[in-house]
Amino acid sequence: MGTEKQSILIIYTGGTIGMREDPMTRTLSPMNFEMLQVEIPELYKLGFNIESVTFNPPIDSANMTPAIWIELASTIKSNYSKYDGFVILHGTDTMAYTASALSYMLENLDKPVIMTGSQLPIGILRTDGKENIITAIQIAAAQKNGKAIVPEVCIYFSSHLFRGNRTTKEDSQQFAAFMSHHYPKLAVAGVDIKYNYEKINYTGSKGILSINTSIDDNVIVLKIFPGINRRYFEAILSLPGLKGIILESYGSGNMPTFPWIFEAIREATLSGVVFMNVSQCPGGRVKMGYYETSRELQEAGVVSGKDITVEAAVTKMMFLLGQQLSVSEVKAYLSQNLSGEIEN
Ligand code: ASP
């Protein structure tokens, strides 16, 4: 840690961490940041300059949209020089999508952007929110030789720090809600916070932070399952305006070899639709051509998602389609590592 007092900006978007129960309906809905702060007086004992902005209105992250990702990126950009790190309070349901989107949108990031939330609201005695927010702030403020220890978009949850675009929500009941199947944890918080320095990306910054907020939402995720109906499959692939399809395939990237499936994919490809093959398996990776059941996909020009998560895949597709690139450029970038989301 440096000797100066670090400055941290908390960006509160909503989520369970800041929710309270309506005594009449017994449903949870977000409260404002002032009320949330009252529940965590510990924030002021940390010894950092902590300021906050609240998104209006705070939302359940089930209502997250690309417009809010853009608002988040813009908020970070306009406050970038004033703070050493950023903590985003966010619902767990779509946290991995927002983390992935931000990892592409924030270019030349050299400060921590740590997302966190909780499974139990902050006002509840057994809340996991206090530890999550306090440690997230400590990680956002952590420096070595005057430089941020974790200059990445991350998710901190239940003692573990993950690269955001490698993370998936896995559990809606346990405090350990998130998992990263393909990439090691960037830190583990026990008595001390132990950083996994070798796995943290220090190559992200090549200049001044810039934000790239062009997103194209003409994208769909299509999960393959036994019995998938030909009419629906063909109808989806020929939807007007659709530009990108994430095919959630089996195992190492396999699909049924029914001729009508490949016909529909070939036709959509010819009309400029981009396909990325992502596995339904949380572990392992897509290996196109390994089985006969994926070889034809490869021949039809479907891009291998390798070890990407669905969250990182759909946001990567939206991001690249937003960049005024040719179809072949979009495909080329889809198969490249942009910000640590895949192993090449
Ligand atoms: N539905 C909530 C949300 O994503 C769940 C949570 O925060 O844990 O906003």
The per-residue pLDDT for range 36-81, each reduced to its tens digit, is 778 888 888 899 999 999 998 899 999 999 999 999 999 999 999 9
Is the domain 7-211 a CATH 3.40.50.1170 member?
yes
The answer to whether 7 touches 82, Cβ cutoff 8 Å, is: yes
| Per-residue pLDDT at 221 | 98
| 333 CA → ligand 1 middle, Å | 32
The per-residue pLDDT for range 204-243, each reduced to its tens digit, is 666 789 999 999 999 999 999 999 999 999 999 999 999 9
| 44 CA → ligand 1 middle, Å | 26
Token readout for 94 is 């779509």
Location of each CATH 3.40.50.40 domain in the chain: 219-334
Q: Is the CB of 117 under 6 A from ligand 1?
A: yes
Report pTM: 0.95
Q: Is the CB of 129 under 6 A from ligand 1?
A: no
Q: Is the CB of 119 under 6 A from ligand 1?
A: yes
| Per-residue pLDDT at 135 | 97
CA-based radius of gyration for the chain? 21
Q: Is the CB of 61 under 6 A from ligand 1?
A: yes
| Per-residue pLDDT at 206 | 67
d(CA 37, CA 144): 29
**pLDDT category of residue 3 using cuts at 50, 70 and 90:** low
**Cβ atoms within 10 Å of 180's Cβ, excluding its own:** 22
**pLDDT category of residue 27 using cuts at 50, 70 and 90:** confident
| 257 CA → ligand 1 middle, Å | 39
Q: Which of 61, 115, 158 to mutate to test the pocket of ligand 1 (most atoms within 8 A of CB)?
A: 61
Q: Is the CB of 92 under 6 A from ligand 1?
A: yes
| 14 CA → ligand 1 middle, Å | 8
Indicate the class that CATH gives domain 219-334. Answer: alpha beta
Candidates 16, 168, 269, 309; catalytic one: 16
Cis bond upstream, residue 57 (ω within 30):
yes
Residues 111-136 as b or e (16 or more Cβ within 10 Å = b)? bbbbbbbbbbbbbbeebbbebbbbbb
How distant, in Å, are the alpha carbons of 214, 224, 255, 271, 336 from that of 302?
23, 15, 12, 13, 14
| 195 CA → ligand 1 middle, Å | 27
Largest Cα span, the chain: 66
Mean pLDDT of the chain: 93
Is the confidence at residue 2, as pLDDT, over 50?
no
Q: Is the CB of 93 under 6 A from ligand 1?
A: yes
| Per-residue pLDDT at 30 | 77
Residue 16 designated active-site = yes
Q: What share of the chain is helix, strand, coil (3-state, %, to 5)?
A: 35, 25, 45
Ligand 1, atom 8: nearest CA belongs to which residue?
Answer: 92
Location of each CATH 3.40.50.1170 domain in the chain: 7-211
